[in-house]
Structure 1
Amino acid sequence: DIPVALGKEVSGRPVVADLTKMPHLLIAGSTGSGKSVCINTIIASLCYHSSPNDLRFIMVDPKMVEMQIYNSLPHMLIPVVTEPKKVPGALKWLMAEVTRRYKIFAKVDVRNIAGFNAKILKDREEKSKADELDAEMTLQERGAIENLEVPRDEDIEIPETKLPYIVCIIDELADLMMIAKNDVETAIARIAQLARAAGIHLILATQRPSVNVITGIIKANLPCRIAFKV
């Protein structure tokens, strides 16, 4: 499980969700509505629960103000991406990482990240997570794994340690869609369809959830949403 703190109910009871069940999240809200506070709370709860060995971040912040403070976190895979032109490259790397992980799974005969980590750690709890995740896999995820040829030894290196989950947080999606709409939309849709079994999750945020920002393709692949005042 990857617990994410979202706030409190009216009664004061904390609301905690599981990112692996979402498995991707869309947050929309105008300036001052609490969107950035929500993102910071999610990041803090992820860091509180998971070490850098368990979870890593990729953060995209075109406004260059919200996420710079996280550059010193040991959880960061790369420094916070602030240049919109570099974002398609980061998303392509994520998609390549999904493919790499699927090849690793095919080689060791497992179907998801929990199954691989259970095999590496010989952990019963991870094995039960793997069975649960396997039951929830989408048709696209199953097809991607089943159609993958088992790679030769020289084609893939099997890690000797557990694979960390990767959470990619993109703030202000609207800015990116104005600069490289086709590249960003295609990459987000592809990652959202296939990345859950590989242990990669997306959190997207925008001030303007209009149809030219949150396109039909993106909306269809992000079933979990949080709406603040827009």
Structure 2
Amino acid sequence: MTKDEKFKLKRRNQYRLLFRKLFGGENGSLKLLLLISYFLGAMWVWSKQKTLIVFAESMELISPIFQTLLTHSIHAYLVVGGILLTGFAVYPFGRKAAQDQLQSIGLVNHAGMVPILQRKYSDRTNPHISIWEFLNQGIPLDIWESKRTAIEAALDITIIRMKYGKRKSHILLYTVSAQNDLPELRRWKDSYLSSDNFVLTLGEGFVGPVTVNLASIPHILLGGATGSGKSVLLKLLLMQALRKGAEVSIADFKGGVDFPPVWHKKCRMCFDEQELLAFLTKLVEELHRRKKLFASAGLPNIDQYNTETGVNLHRLIFACDEVAEMLDRTGLSKEQKELVNQIESRLATVARLGRAFGIHLILSTQRPDANLISGQIRNNLNCRICGRADNILSQLILDNTDAANQIPKDAKGRFMLHDGTVFQGYLFDEKNI
């Protein structure tokens, strides 16, 4: 494309943008109201012009400039009001600065055009979030995503998420001030325990606590490299589950060394495959028993069953700190592989049917091997949480590489949810379980 063609394309684009800002967009109703008010005001000033002229001539001590404005009131109104109205309609604060910054990091299309800031406004659901709306100039969302950290540095913001607007010609950046970055350490307080039924608090996000409701999202897959804080987050979730009256079982093939004695008193611990298979078999039997109970009572889930019958069935939670280690068949004998197959089959049953009956899985892994977690299990672990990770592990947990790209390599306790929410997990004292 020649320079002349680029210039003509840029000029036509500016005309289209001006037309769109004046007569379209999500602020169309407000703009129309202001335009009507402007013309009504002009009519009022016109009707009072003679009165204003007489008033100006009768006031001898009035400033000459003010006297001139009163004498030519309609002209002054039209000029000043028109400038203000046009400025409101077509020029949001900071547009030029934003364009310069985006151009400096190379966020341009093939014609060299830069995304144009159309407006900034507060999110209706959370006033702490500011939404930047850009005309994206044909730059796809994945290009914006690839330049996320550069955009944050250029605009001095922290981006919570990006998405297309009502049309794909617009990009929405949900942001908070860069000064509101997450703390490197946030200690747990008992006041953080949610009072809502089986809502577990994960940590602190950019706009407040981040939670997961096991009543609606029953199973959790947690990933992260060694030292990312994955085990601490797992224990945080299990601690809250215990506080809410759940019965917790933990598979740990390291002999329980990662779980201090207090966990052994509060939870059932499984240390080998045979013991684990026996436990999971009883867990599946309990699932089917509850299924019959709920069916005979005509009730769909554990919460309604407990409320209607007055029976207090506890939620049952099975956790494993390294599920890939548990399901790895490498180097196993035929009998050992069959044992792992049976364990996997029972996990798949709980993952598929456990939600309504109050039976939950919280599985974590640090090994980036998709073959170790079968599709039947993984596809039913709807809550995905990933800490510091490489591209492969991030892809395994979140189905994208966002955790690898957005979580600093030296971060501890920093995680990303499946919906893109970033949070700092709470650190708690295990002695206070």
**TM-score normalised by structure 1 residue count:** 0.73
Matching residue within 198, 203, 215 for 1:2: 198
Contact kept, 8 Å, 1:67 with 1:80, in 2: the verdict is: no
Q: Partners in 2 of 1:71 and 1:114 — Cα distance?
A: 28
Q: Partners in 1 of 2:213 and 2:258 — Cα distance?
A: 24
**1:120 deviation in Å?**
2.0
Matching residue within 251, 260, 274 for 1:60: 251
SS state at 1:168 partner:
strand
Task: Give the 5 Å matches for 1:133-212.
Answer: 161-178=311-328, 180-212=339-371
**1:173 deviation in Å?**
0.8
Q: Partners in 2 of 1:19 and 1:67 — Cα distance?
A: 23
SS state at 2:345 partner:
helix
Alignment pair present for 1:35 and 2:230: yes
Q: Partners in 1 of 2:298 and 2:382 — Cα distance?
A: 29
SS state at 1:67 partner:
coil
Task: Give the 5 Å matches for 1:15-30.
Answer: 15-30=210-225
Q: RMSD in angstroms over aligned alpha carbons?
A: 1.7
Change (3 A) 1:119 1:184: same
**1:35 deviation in Å?**
0.5
Contact kept, 8 Å, 1:4 with 1:16, in 2: the verdict is: yes
Highest Rg: 1 or 2? 2
Match of 1:158 in 2: none
**TM-score normalised by structure 2 residue count:** 0.40
Contact kept, 8 Å, 2:320 with 2:362, in 1: the verdict is: yes
SS state at 1:212 partner:
helix
Deviations 1:165-221 (A, max 9, x none): 111111211221125432222111111111111111110011114122222222212
SS state at 1:6 partner:
strand
How many residue pairs are counted as aligned between the two chains?
Answer: 182
Match of 2:383 in 1: 224
SS state at 2:212 partner:
strand
Alignment pair present for 1:47 and 2:242: yes
Runs (4+) of structure 1 exceeding 3 A deviation are none
Contact kept, 8 Å, 1:185 with 1:217, in 2: the verdict is: no
Q: 90-99 vs 171-180, which deviates more?
A: 171-180
Q: 212-221 vs 195-204, which deviates more?
A: 212-221
Structure 2 unaligned regions, length at least 5: 1-196, 330-338, 390-433
SS state at 2:306 partner:
helix
Residue identity matched to 1:184? I
Report % sequence identity. 33
Contact kept, 8 Å, 2:238 with 2:248, in 1: the verdict is: no
Q: Partners in 2 of 1:211 and 1:59 — Cα distance?
A: 22
Residue identity matched to 2:213? D
